[in-house]
Structure 1
């Protein structure tokens, strides 16, 4: 048993009247002891549920991110005129609406905006569709290459994916506790803020509940993270909604602006695409990359147009929408996908030899 961890557990687990928030250093210590499994399973489970009940603070999340930075390897910087866009989606996936992030990432990369995604397999308690399954369906196997090779692929193609079980096994070791406690612990918030890239980056953080955005901003202020975008997205993802106003926060330096995008103002209003089988969704994605008109293609253009503009790759939302549509209709997204597949195959060939 870790007596050091027990003292931290007592602070967060003392109930609504006497529990205390941890300092940034204390939170870093607690997270480190959990990642290294120096705290016992009983202590880790108790901490997770107690911390959920208490609710994490921005300072505590900053400390948790410090521990992730200390113990997890990061992708080294690449040469890029545009900061790498790191899109942070909930690890427990989607259960109601169709995920767009892989297709959006492909289009952005084809436009010269490098993108990094991260996540794992199906994860408690939601057990929704994770992004890695969609990448697999598209023929992109991120699971078999090392972090060093992901870095080379990112440099070559503008796309990368950090796969938790392979690239950050210490964090993967905490996943089983989610199922055992039956609730999402504060680590699920941490994952919406974690940046596995070491160079100049632009964090995109999806969320569901408005207080979460305040935690993001508090933690980022403490850590000196100044370029980020918050999105009240579909099921907490980075995907912009089409059946309601998109609520977006945009930080750059010391400035934070609020943007509300009304889809009908730009001709994109529609019902959200329901979740279908992975096979059907992959077929729809491939059709969109062939430029075949569909609601999925429209949803992709809506998202990509915003992100191209936000990344500084175009001067207006309207030009972003036009650029995204052209990338799909001209087959540039399909060619980018094939480039990524070939880059991964080349890495696997080196490994087999």
Structure 2
């Protein structure tokens, strides 16, 4: 047992707490979860024990107290923030990305920025287990510099209204786990907490979920965390787990600091111009096609399903920061930003940054 940690190496946690199976395992205390992730980031556990620990936590499912502890360790021991002067919306999409449908978050974030809502996005590079296309890859296709340190990312936000933070630069400890995560073959709790890294210290978090229970878990995780201070969360059912709203009947969850519970409501996307099904947003080459769609939509050269989806996703970002009183008002602002040419100019500014 290493003297630099406490009394709970991962092997003991497996034996006495989390490793007995999905029905009989116990949850860790915050102190135990804290020590576990400190050891992991320090590369202390044996690789076999680490893999078993990750899998045991996947089977038993982590509660907000554990996730809050993991988040706090990551923020203290790994995350290097770059705080812009503006207060952007933090878009925490799943880092393992998309594989079938267009990634619209770049276009949507640029449109929101042009409408007056600064937006921050962050990702790694083909992160396990999905190894899909994320924000970085679309930005690379657009010619935007992505290998930025946190302070450079903050400058990008203040200069253009839109900023990208690259995980290897702002979260090197978690990036250092890449090889171990790749060998796991399945998602771990790291996939959840890395999306909550909030490298710009934003007050507003925007994310997505498959099931509403996950949105509740995220807001409870923020409440359990001592190292994050998020005032507002907006989440919705996203395509492929990403932060592109799913067409059709879609649940939106909204939480403000001080609320006991989150509020949820259902929107029919056809009422906001998205009158099509998910297949309409599928593409052959996610990175390259998403970049082409982004250019065309921002230039006003497309008025199809992709343009409608970009406008609504931008509206949700505007509404998340409460720069519009309703999603309808945000939609008007988004469409005006495209029609005026302001959105295309933000993209041009990003390319030359």
Distance in 1 (CA, whole Å) between partners of 2:270 and 2:24 is 49
| CA deviation map 1:205-235 (0-9, x unaligned) | 2122333223213212222644111222111
| CA deviation map 1:180-225 (0-9, x unaligned) | 2221112112233332223x42011212233322321321222264
Matched, 1:181 2:184: yes
Structure 2 stretches lacking a partner, 5+ long = 3-7
Partner residue of 2:255? 251
Distance in 2 (CA, whole Å) between partners of 1:310 and 1:246 is 16
Moved more, 273-282 or 129-138: 273-282
Number of residue pairs the alignment of both structures matches: 338
Matched, 1:205 2:207: yes
Distance in 2 (CA, whole Å) between partners of 1:92 and 1:275 is 17
Partner residue of 2:72? 66
TM-score (norm 1): 0.89
Distance in 2 (CA, whole Å) between partners of 1:17 and 1:75 is 38
Is contact 1:59-1:219 (8 Å) kept? Answer: yes
Distance in 2 (CA, whole Å) between partners of 1:16 and 1:168 is 30
| CA deviation map 1:160-179 (0-9, x unaligned) | 22211233221012122233
Partner residue of 2:288? 279
Q: Given the alignment, which residue of 208, 220, 223 partners 1:221?
A: 223
Is contact 1:104-1:304 (8 Å) kept? Answer: yes
Partner residue of 2:345? 335
Distance in 2 (CA, whole Å) between partners of 1:17 and 1:101 is 38
Q: Given the alignment, which residue of 12, 15, 38 partners 1:7?
A: 12
Distance in 2 (CA, whole Å) between partners of 1:189 and 1:75 is 19
Q: Given the alignment, which residue of 251, 272, 279 partners 1:266?
A: 272
Structure 1 stretches lacking a partner, 5+ long = 344-353
Cα shift at 1:94: 0.6
Distance in 2 (CA, whole Å) between partners of 1:254 and 1:214 is 14
Partner residue of 1:171? 174
Matched, 1:137 2:145: no
TM-score (norm 2): 0.89
Partner residue of 2:245? 240
Q: Given the alignment, which residue of 9, 12, 33 partners 1:27?
A: 33
Partner residue of 1:325? 335
Matched, 1:291 2:291: no
The 1:165/1:257 distance shift into structure 2, 3 A limit, reads same
What's the Cα RMSD here?
Answer: 1.9
SS at match of 1:183: coil
**Structure 1 outlier segments of 4+, above 3 Å:** none
Cα shift at 1:18: 4.3
Distance in 1 (CA, whole Å) between partners of 2:234 and 2:272 is 21
The 1:160/1:240 distance shift into structure 2, 3 A limit, reads same
